[in-house]
Structure 1
Amino acid sequence: MFIVTQKEKKVGMLIITLFAIAILTTTLFSGCTENKPAGTTATLSLGGSTTVQPIADACAQAFMVLHSNITVQVYGGGSGVGIKGVAGGTYDIGDASREAKASDLTDIQGVTLSDLVAHKIALDGIAIIVSKEIYNAGVTNISKTQLKGIYNRTITNWQTLGGPNEAIFVVGRDTSSGTYTSINDMLGLNQSTQILDVARSENAQVKAAVAGQNNGIGYVGLGFVDANTPAVKLNGISPSISTVTDNTYPLSRSLYMYTKGPASGVEQMFIDFVLSTDGQKIVEQEEFVPLPK
C-alpha cells in the first residue's frame, strides 16, 4: 500500500492546478500566437545539493506541466558536485546550500568564481536531530557551544548534556556537502576538527543513520525533520519557518541555484518559475522557507 503524505498531496494539487491553467492558456491563445515548430524540445539539467533537491524536483514537475516541450532532469551529489558541474558544463544549473568557493573550481580550467552567478531561491535552517531514545530521555535543547563540542569530540557522552550514560554516536555529511561546510562555518570548525563516526552524502542517509542508533546525533535540512528523528532546540530556539525567516535560529542559511554566466533561455525560465508565487509555494510545501516578499 502506498501512503501519500500531506506535503505530497499539496504539491500534487498545485501541479494539477498548473496543468489546468496550461490547458486553458493553450486553448485560449493557440489561435492568437505563433506556435513553436512541431518537435521543438529542450532539456535542462540540474544537480548538486541534496538539501535543494526536493525543491528542484517538485518545481521541475510543475514546470514541465506548464512547458511540455521541456524536460528537466534533477540530480543530487552535494553542493560541491553542483558547483563543479555547472562550472564544467555537466549541469545547466548547479544547486547549492552554501556560497561557491574558489576551491570548488580547482580542477576546472578557465573558470573563476566571477563566472558563476548565484540565484538565491529559498531559506533553510540546519536542524540538529537526535535518536528518539535520547530525545525521550530529556535531551531536547543544547547550546551552540555544546554542539561544537560534540563535533570536535570534547563532549563524548550524553550524560554531559543531561541525558543517559551513553557514548554519543556522531553522524555528519561528507566533505562535498554544502551542509558540511555550513556547519563548519557556523560552529567555527574545519575539516580536521569535525570528527564523525559516520559520514553520509545525503540528508536522507544522515536521518537513517541517526534513526538506526539509540544514541545518535546528526544534522539535516529543515525539510527532513520528522518524529523518528526529532530536532532539538539550539540555544533554546526551535528550527522552524518563523525562526529561520526572522534569523533567530542560530543555524539559518540561504539556498542557491548557480548558473555559469547570467541565466538565459530555459535556465532563466526555470529560475523565474522557482522565484514565482507558485514556485515559492512549492518551497513552503517542501517545508523550506520562501524568500521574504
Structure 2
Amino acid sequence: MNFQKIALFLVLLISISCFSGCMDNSGEVSEPVTIKMAGGTALIPIIEDISKEYMLENSNVQIEVTGGGSGFGVKETGEGHLTIGMAGRNLKSEEKELYNDITVYKIGLDGIAIITSNENNISDLTTEQVQKIYSGEITNWKSVGGSDSTINVYTREEDSGTRDTFWKEGLLQSNISKKALMVASNGEMKSKVSSDANGIGYVSIGYVDESINTVQFNGVEPTQENVKEGIYTIYRPLNLLTKGEPDENVKKFIEYVLSEKGQEIVKNDGFLPVN
C-alpha cells in the first residue's frame, strides 16, 4: 500500500512539473520557449554552437535551426513565420520596402573564399579572370595557367547571401553563366568542388578546411584576418532578423549571441566577431 502511495505521489509530482514549466539557470520556473530560426547557411554552424550552450543554460528553451538561404530568411521573417531569420548579407532595398518592420542585428563578419579541388594547382586569380570564368568566356584552366581541362563552374541560388556578396564584391556585378552548376548551400558547395578536379566555386571562409584549396584573389589570401585588415575585399555581414521588436525571450537569446561568450563562439567557428 505504501508503495502504491509513493508511486501515485511521483506521478502527480511529474505531472505538476510538466504543467508548471522548466527550471532555468536562475533557479526559477519558466514556461517552455521555442525559437525557430532559418535562412543563410553560413550562419548555421555559429547558431548551432551558440544554441547548444544557450539551451544548456536555459533548459526551458528549444532552438530549431535550418537553412534555406538568406532570401528565405528575410521573407519568412517578414511574413512572420520565423522567430529569428538569418541572412549573410544586408537587406535589399526592395526587401526593406516590402518588410519595413524587420529589425537587423549584426553578429559577425565573414569573407567569401574562391575554392577549387586540392588536385588543382591554381593559386591566384585576378578579378578579370574570375569574371571571365563565371561569365563563360574562359572555359579551360589552361587559359589561366592550369591544366588543359574544361572548367566546371559552381554557383549558388539567387536567394543566397553568399552568392550576392560574391557577385557584388568578387564579380563586380558581371554575368554568371546560365551553364553554371547550382548548389543549395555552403556545405554542398564545399562537397561538390572538393570532389571535382576541374571545379571552381566559392564558400564562406568559415567553411574552409583541408578538403578544399583556397585561391588568392588579386594576390591576397582569403582569410578572416585579411578581411579584418581591409585587404581582402570579398566579405559581408552576418545578420539576425526579427519582425519588429523581439519579445523578452528572443531578446535574451540575441543578447547572448552578442555577449562575450557568444562572440567567442563566433570567432572559434572561423568568423569575425562584431566587437
Please give the range of the TM-score, normalised by the shorter of the 2 chains. 0.7 to 0.9
List per-residue Cα deviations over 1:48-91 (Å, max 9, x = no partner).
Answer: 00011111111111111111111111111100111111111111
Aligned to 2:101: 115
Following superposition, the deviation at residue 112 of structure 1 comes to: 3.0
Aligned to 2:173: 189
1:173–1:199 CA contact under 8 A, matched in 2: yes
For residue 133 of structure 1, give the secondary structure of its aligned residue in structure 2. Answer: coil
What do you get for the CA RMSD once the two structures are aligned?
2.0
The correspondence of residues 1-293 of structure 1 with structure 2, limited to 5 A, is 30=27, 35-36=28-29, 40-104=31-95, 112-135=98-121, 139-186=122-169, 187-189=171-173, 193-292=176-275
State TM-score, norm by structure 2.
0.86
List per-residue Cα deviations over 1:69-124 (Å, max 9, x = no partner).
Answer: 1111111110011111111111111100011225458xxxxx83431111100110
Would you say how many aligned residue pairs link Structure 1 and Structure 2?
252
Aligned to 1:11: none
Aligned to 2:9: none
Following superposition, the deviation at residue 159 of structure 1 comes to: 1.0
Partner amino acid for 1:132? N
Following superposition, the deviation at residue 154 of structure 1 comes to: 1.7
State TM-score, norm by structure 1.
0.81
1:171–1:196 CA contact under 8 A, matched in 2: no
2:78–2:99 CA contact under 8 A, matched in 1: no
**Matched residues, percent identical?**
33
1:102–1:113 CA contact under 8 A, matched in 2: no
Name whichever structure is richer in strand by fraction. Answer: 2
Question: Highest Rg: 1 or 2?
Answer: 2
2:41–2:186 CA contact under 8 A, matched in 1: yes
2:165–2:235 CA contact under 8 A, matched in 1: no
List per-residue Cα deviations over 1:138-183 (Å, max 9, x = no partner).
Answer: x101112211111111221111111111111101111121111112
| Structure 1 unaligned regions, length at least 5 | 1-22, 106-110
For residue 58 of structure 1, give the secondary structure of its aligned residue in structure 2. Answer: helix
1:44–1:72 CA contact under 8 A, matched in 2: yes
